Amino acid sequence: MAKLILSMDGLVLKEIPLTKERTTIGRKPHNDIQIDNLAVSGEHAVIVTILNDSFLEDLGSTNGTVVNGNAIKKHFLQNNDVVELGKYKLKFVGEAAAAAGTDKTDFEKTMVLRPSAMKTATDQARAMASAPGGAQAAAVAARAAAAQQAATSASAAGLADKDPKTAPPAAPAPRGAQPLGAIQLLSGGNAGKELELTKPLTTLGKPGLQVAVLTRRPQGYFITHVEGAARPTVNGQQIGAAPTALKDHDVIELAGVKMEFFLKG
């Protein structure tokens, strides 16, 4: 079941499941979602839910309806869309995401969308066009329905993920949790200069002579030799062909220049 999460200033006020075909939003008390704020019109907007798809329509409100920063008249709601009404925000959480609680859907196996699937979907959409939401929405819905169709027909044909032992996606380590590394030059003309390693890749050395790359990965920082007859050294030890992990206060020597790697807390 798709739902809306109402919040103000980042504070979640309530969750509203979209159970009805028409969910009205406005300032007046008869609305399904009443938002008592002068910036919100009496009858501000409506969300029409057909099967798994929800469409947001502005009902000629004074201040308009904004989705993801753009003013809209009619909008096919997608997962994580944010609807802004004055100071209030409504976040739309789609059917699949609400059911699974994860973003598993967006990395399904590749599948083909076939013209035959498109056709049946268009028929579906035509039927849908008579429903409130209008023909405009139907065109968009045709595509989405075709996608749905492809997914169903694909699973029927044995195309869907048949791998029950598939592990849950390995959660990538959040970038922010990792301490920021930096290097400080210890010798050469720029001795004392510091360079923060914010990018996923930092190239060091002189092209054609000796080049190494410092990579930032969830596990930490690594140094890899890329080019040149001589390999860089870490704490006096020449590194191998494989990437070498860097520890706090390791001293790297590259193309005759010494530098220290350290982690910033």
Partner 1 sequence: MDLTQILEVASATDPGMVRSHNEDSVAADAANGLFVLADGMGGYNAGEVASGMATTVIITEMQQALGRTRPYDVDQKTHKPLAPRLVHEQVLKANTSIYQAAQSQPQYAGMGTTLVVCLFYDNRVLVAHLGDSRLYLSRDGKFRQVTRDHSLLQEQIDSGLISLEQAKHAQHKNLVTRALGIDPSVEPEIHEYPARPGDIYLLCSDGLCDMVEDEDISMAVQAFSANLGMAASHLVQMANDNGGRDNVSVILVRVLREYPAARGVMAKVFAWLK
Summarize as ranges the residues that interact with partner 1 (CB under 8 A).
Answer: 68, 78-80, 94, 96, 105-114, 140, 143-144, 146-147, 150, 154, 157-160, 162-163, 165-167, 169-172, 199-203, 207, 211, 213, 215, 217-219, 224, 226-227
Q: Is 81 helix (H, G, I), strand (E, B) or coil?
A: coil
Place of tokens 């920063």: 69
How far the first Cα of the chain sits from its last, in Å, is 43
C-alpha gyration radius of the chain: 28
For residue 34, the minimal CB distance to partner 1 (Å) is 30
For residue 94, the minimal CB distance to partner 1 (Å) is 8
Query: Of the two residues 28 and 114, which places its CB atom closer to partner 1 in the complex?
Result: 114
Query: Of the two residues 26 and 94, which places its CB atom closer to partner 1 in the complex?
Result: 94
For residues 3 and 10, what is the distance between their CA atoms, to the nearest angstrom? Answer: 17
For residues 54 and 168, what is the distance between their CA atoms, to the nearest angstrom? Answer: 28
How far from chain centre, in Å, is Cα 15? 21
For residue 43, the minimal CB distance to partner 1 (Å) is 28
Query: Of the two residues 18 and 212, which places its CB atom closer to partner 1 in the complex?
Result: 212
Query: Of the two residues 13 and 173, which places its CB atom closer to partner 1 in the complex?
Result: 173
